[in-house]
Structure 1
């Protein structure tokens, strides 16, 4: 635990790392395509991209695409608005790989996937011709044998170990019974027992006390190099320093020179602004994430005081989002804290506070919030979120507005990545949140005027 906190603290010491920012590029490195997981976006790979760059992997050989509809279908064989099938997901990856090969002239690529992204990669390599153009695969927290394998429980889902999809993927490929496609080098990364989607009990799928018939070793694959990362949660199997370390060693045969981002003198930030979709056949079912552009949204970027979240001056950047959903590029400072303000019809005006960006990034994806009906009684709403991992109150040093307890986060286990604070006053004030050495501060805004604040962790 102390080692883990030390690594996070190092990542925040951007000024001390500035001298390490000139790392000779390794121009012979193959391109890497990173595939995000269920309901996620390319943004989750931000720190991983920084770590690769800081160890000399050329920035123009790192690719993290957004799948338009990242959520899996409830039943893979039944069309569902706003969701993608395993075949659609594999076709998306195939097109991305072909685009990368054409752009770089490389003969082969490396594929790195988190969670559902691993299903997509395995499907593409096994059934979409990927075995001809992929040299290495790294799978973090991939539910390779399902999240559950219970007769009668959504057996058509790609997350069921009994699904036709996973049964085909896991069928033996040779006399040794290997589950991985030959001709490609495979690495799986899993937790020892802290991955919410590799649990023998169904607590995280709403079936506490019911056996899932999936073990902690569910993400491991016969025929692959299988590594256990003690204590990590589901997302940290891909986005933690330990995951990067294992990935770098697998790809290069050497230890990385650093596990943390090396600061640049100035940073250029850009990304996409996306929204939340509704099922046109059942709008009452609630919103779901997609990676479609939120055309017409307004974005303003303010430099803020890192200790309080108070704005320092007029907006440093303002933009109306076009049809491609892109925002930026915005040039900033690696030691500055920023507030990103998003406004769009049908959404709350969302104030996203971030800790400093030590390096440039083209995957600063932004999405406004909707004010939930259950929160209409609040004078102000502040969300504390950790996109690249979960909160574990026994494992982590965490506080939200000065309190150790996080609303909505259970005292045991790593399965929730956000916490919501409902304030009884609409008077603006500073709200701070901390996680293992990273601190983010922002301001509260009146909910009655349609505002929501988000304190978003980077690490």
Structure 2
């Protein structure tokens, strides 16, 4: 009897320990809400979330928000089609935080923001009642002192260092003049000198040769923990392995076990399929970015040959998108690259080629594209894009269709995240993009058939 009781106790203890290991408390792994930047989507947090998961963070406690209208207004106080004000941005973040707290049962969340996302985080904490609901705030590349601080120049823009929005947020919080205050713990991450929106010259804001009155230190905040990440670009202040390491250490007080993304199976993918808006007052003026669903769009997914980009067999997944915009779920095979082919009324057939997926994700967001008027004379138009960072000709090893110098990428500085090639030769053929070892090969589809090609980097 004693032996049986001892065995029962050991089994019960083992089950209890297993439960503790697989069901950490919010204090061990608090829910994290990720807030993307100006004009971006939740999808940019894909690799960051993978790294948290690879270090044992439960997937259900990692939430990336998708702002419907992600671009800031030119004048924060004036309504503008397809744009959000700082107040609207903050209200959306607040509602998302409330949902996460309710779903997880946690008392507080960690907020991690890139660029404009940091503006919403600061606004929510100081002006939206978030101080009691947030334990840590991490701001990567947020232009906390503006992209420019020129008196009388675009001062009612959200990113004006001398404007009412930022001067209000930066007002001293105590006698020491700190720009942040407790109980929230604050971390800023910035580049040493390679962030396009923290430059002393106005080149990247369309005012070359004009002093911005903003320094490389612009994203730092007095009173916060301020970390400099050498040579990273504006987006890499949040989406790089170095940014993940600093963020993880700040939240947990210890280094992550790995910076690598650990593979898993099965690999379940999903995400939102969105389009592009047209200005209601002047449709000819061009597109504006939104993260709204594109119901009725049709998606076909094909496995591709890594060497040629050609389709291997029939579609492995197809769906007509509903009102929620979700194009999945889809079970991907390890090590297999894919082509995502989108057809939607008013858009070109968009062929997006991606590297193999190592892990599951529900934020593999896709976007249908239109062919710009200037590209319609080409036989094929192909864009190489890097959503989670910029191209730096002095830092990165790059190749696009066997060209080492990428079209549109300057010889110095990291301020461009896409490069386009318009081919004048007829016919379909393989075309490749290579960035620091990640290689994607697609096919050159014809513009005459209303096709556009995107080679989308993951890392």
- Structure-1-length-normalised TM-score: 0.94
Q: In structure 2, what is the equivalent of residue 265 of structure 1?
A: 265
Q: In structure 1, what is the equivalent of residue 201 of structure 2?
A: 201
Superposed CA deviations along residues 395-450 of structure 1, whole A, max 9, x for unmatched, are: 10000011101111111110000000111123110001100111111001010000
Q: State the secondary structure of the residue aligned to 1:327.
A: coil
Q: State the secondary structure of the residue aligned to 1:168.
A: helix
Q: In structure 2, what is the equivalent of residue 42 of structure 1?
A: 42
Q: In structure 1, what is the equivalent of residue 455 of structure 2?
A: 455
**1:224 shift after superposition:** 0.4
1:26/1:56 contact within 8 Å kept: no
| Equivalences for residues 43-442 of structure 1 within 5 A | 43-442=43-442
**1:186 shift after superposition:** 0.3
Larger CA Rg, structure 1 vs 2: 2
Q: What is the aligned-residue RMSD (CA, Å)?
A: 1.0
Aligned residues: 437
Q: In structure 2, what is the equivalent of residue 12 of structure 1?
A: none
In 2, the alpha carbon distance for the partners of 1:175 and 1:324 equals: 49
Which is worse superposed, 405-414 or 113-122?
A: 405-414
Superposed CA deviations along residues 142-201 of structure 1, whole A, max 9, x for unmatched, are: 000000011222110010001100010000001111111321000000000000000000
Superposed CA deviations along residues 99-151 of structure 1, whole A, max 9, x for unmatched, are: 11011100100000000000000000000010011000000000000000112
Q: State the secondary structure of the residue aligned to 2:329.
A: strand
Superposed CA deviations along residues 46-103 of structure 1, whole A, max 9, x for unmatched, are: 0000000000000000000100000000000001010000000000000000111011
Q: State the secondary structure of the residue aligned to 1:328.
A: coil
In 2, the alpha carbon distance for the partners of 1:181 and 1:80 equals: 33
Superposed CA deviations along residues 222-246 of structure 1, whole A, max 9, x for unmatched, are: 1100000000000000000000000
Query: Structure 1: which 5+ residue stretches go unaligned?
Result: 1-22
In 2, the alpha carbon distance for the partners of 1:344 and 1:167 equals: 44
**1:24 shift after superposition:** 6.0
In 2, the alpha carbon distance for the partners of 1:161 and 1:29 equals: 35
1:131/1:181 contact within 8 Å kept: no
Query: Structure 2: which 5+ residue stretches go unaligned?
Result: 1-20
In 2, the alpha carbon distance for the partners of 1:26 and 1:354 equals: 34
**1:367 shift after superposition:** 0.2
In 2, the alpha carbon distance for the partners of 1:122 and 1:152 equals: 24
In 1, the alpha carbon distance for the partners of 2:240 and 2:389 equals: 8
In 1, the alpha carbon distance for the partners of 2:176 and 2:387 equals: 39
In 2, the alpha carbon distance for the partners of 1:143 and 1:251 equals: 22
- Structure-2-length-normalised TM-score: 0.94
**Which has the higher relative contact order, 1 or 2, with Cα contacts under 8 A spaced 6 or more apart?**
1
Q: State the secondary structure of the residue aligned to 2:280.
A: coil
1:426/1:447 contact within 8 Å kept: no
